Amino acid sequence: MDETKFEENTKPNFAPNDEITLELQSLYTNFQKCLDLREKYMKVSCQRVGDDPRDKDSWEIYPPPPPPSWPTTEYKARVPDGPNSVGSDFVREDVKIPGPCDHVFEMDDTGVYQVYASQDALVKKQPIVQVPTPKEYFVDLDFVLSVISDGPTKSFAFRRLKYLESKWNMYILLNEYEELAEAKRVPHRDFYNVRKVDTHVHHSSCMNQKHLLRFIKSKMRKTPNDVVIFRDGKDLTLEEVFKSLNLTAYDLSIDTMDMHAHKDSFHRFDKFNLKYNPIGESRLREIFMKTDNKIKGRYLAEITREVISDLEQSKYQMAEYRISIYGRSETEWDKLADWVVDNKLFSPNVRWLIQVPRLYNVYKATNSVENFEQVIQNIFKPLFEVTRDPTSHPNLHIFLQRVIGFDSVDDESKAERRIYKKYPYPRVWNTSMNPPYSYYIYYMFANMTSLNRFRQQRGFSTFVFRPHCGEAGDTDHLTSAFLTSFGISHGILLRKVPALQYMYYLTQMGIAMSPLSNNALFLDYERNPFPVFFHRGLNVSLSTDDPLQFHFTKEPLIEEYSVAAQIWKLSGADMCEISRNSVLQSGFENKIKKHWIGKKWYLPGVQGNDMEKTNVPNIRVSFRHETLREELDMLQRYSQLAHPSMFTNLHHDLSKRMASSTASPAIFAHGSGIGNSGTGQSLVLESPFALNPQSPPIGCGPFETSDIGLLQMHPHLPRASIETSRETSGHTNVMTVAHQLGMISVVSGVSEMAERAAAKKRERKRLAAEQKVELE
> Are 754 and 722 contacting, i.e. CB atoms less than 8 angstroms apart?
no
Region class of 468: left (phi > 0), else alpha (psi between -120 and 50), else beta: beta
> Are 384 and 332 contacting, i.e. CB atoms less than 8 angstroms apart?
no
Please name the helix (run of DSSP H) or strand (run of DSSP E) that holds residue 361, with its range, or none: helix 360-365
Nearest residue to 508 (alpha-carbon basis) of 164, 129, 243: 164
| Exposure of 715 in the CB half-sphere (CA atoms within 13 A) | 24
Give the separation between CA 162 and CA 151, rounded to whole angstroms.
17
| Exposure of 287 in the CB half-sphere (CA atoms within 13 A) | 26
The SS3 of residue 325 is coil
The SS3 of residue 621 is helix
Handedness of CA 727, 729, 735, 740 (dihedral sign): positive
Q: Could you say which of 202, 260, 468, 490 is catalytic?
A: 490
The answer to whether 716 is a known catalytic residue is: no
Give the separation between CA 194 and CA 580, rounded to whole angstroms.
8
Region class of 87: left (phi > 0), else alpha (psi between -120 and 50), else beta: left
* 353 residue type, one letter: L
Question: How far apart, in Å, are the Cα atoms of 509 and each of 225, 559, 690, 718?
Answer: 51, 25, 11, 21
Give the separation between CA 226 and CA 72, rounded to whole angstroms.
45
Secondary structure (DSSP) of 306-320: HHHHHHHHHSSEEEE
Nearest residue to 474 (alpha-carbon basis) of 496, 498, 442: 496
Rounded to the nearest 5°, which phi and psi values hold at 532? -70, -45
DSSP collapsed to 3 states, 717-748: CCCCCCCCHHHHHCCCCHHHHHHHHCCCCCCH
Nearest residue to 192 (alpha-carbon basis) of 712, 565, 744, 732: 565
| Exposure of 719 in the CB half-sphere (CA atoms within 13 A) | 28
> Are 184 and 533 contacting, i.e. CB atoms less than 8 angstroms apart?
no
Give the separation between CA 596 and CA 612, rounded to whole angstroms.
10
* 514 residue type, one letter: S
Give the separation between CA 296 and CA 338, rounded to whole angstroms.
9
The SS3 of residue 199 is strand
Please name the helix (run of DSSP H) or strand (run of DSSP E) that holds residue 398, with its range, or none: helix 394-400
Neighbours of 584 (CB within 10 A): 25
| Exposure of 748 in the CB half-sphere (CA atoms within 13 A) | 12
The set of catalytic residues is 490
